[in-house]
Chains A and B, each alone.
Chain A
């Protein structure tokens, strides 16, 4: 069972507002990720981190930013939200074993920008 937590689960905000989506994991995983997913659609990687002070942009361009000051915490920030940012944001972390890499997801944060 994965111990990865996202808050808020649901958020409705006005255009131009700054928001931060929180993500925490208690498994000690070095790698963490943010995916963006529209309802019923595929997953798009927007940010990832290999450890503290490491952040990289993913395959899908995003106006959001991330930080990784602590291993267990990987928040995502939108400085000025727009309706086009309306989507589900999924945080994940992965565990590397000698047998392979396994990724675990949080429950997601649904963002609606009006």
Chain B
């Protein structure tokens, strides 16, 4: 079946650092979605990408839909403590949505 490879699985960074994470697949997707999940809460949509090559920003977050349609990345600039959480990517094709296994972001004191 279709799989998304999300990396890294975990990140430990200092406050103020930039963060980059990505998702890749052997399959083509029509939509890429990025979510953030805080402990005990449901995932919240950060950015939705609908077109190959699309680059979209949401505050300090920037995400891109890869031109091959098989990958996407999410960057966070100047990280702050509230960025801590799990970030999930999701790809959609043929009416099915596949989720990555998540990137766990930790900020060191």
Partner-B contacts on A (CB < 8 A):
2, 6, 39-43, 59, 88, 90, 92, 94, 99-108, 110
Closest 10 CB pairs of A and B: A100-B31, A105-B42, A100-B50, A99-B50, A42-B101, A108-B42, A101-B92, A107-B42, A43-B99, A105-B43
Once bound together, how far apart are the Cα atoms of A84 and B92, in whole Å?
Answer: 30
Once bound together, how far apart are the Cα atoms of A40 and B106, in whole Å?
Answer: 13
- B104 nearest CB neighbor, chain A only: A40
> Is there contact, CB below 8 Å, between B88 and A100?
no
Once bound together, how far apart are the Cα atoms of A108 and B95, in whole Å?
Answer: 23
Q: Contact mask B40-59 → A, CB, 8 Å, 1/0? A: 11111100101100000000
> Is there contact, CB below 8 Å, between B92 and A105?
no
Contact of A103 among B33, B40, B51 (CB under 8 A): B33
| Inter-chain contacts of B33 with A (CB < 8 A) | 102-103
> Is there contact, CB below 8 Å, between A102 and B48?
yes
| Inter-chain contacts of B42 with A (CB < 8 A) | 6, 90, 92, 105-108
- A39 nearest CB neighbor, chain B only: B39
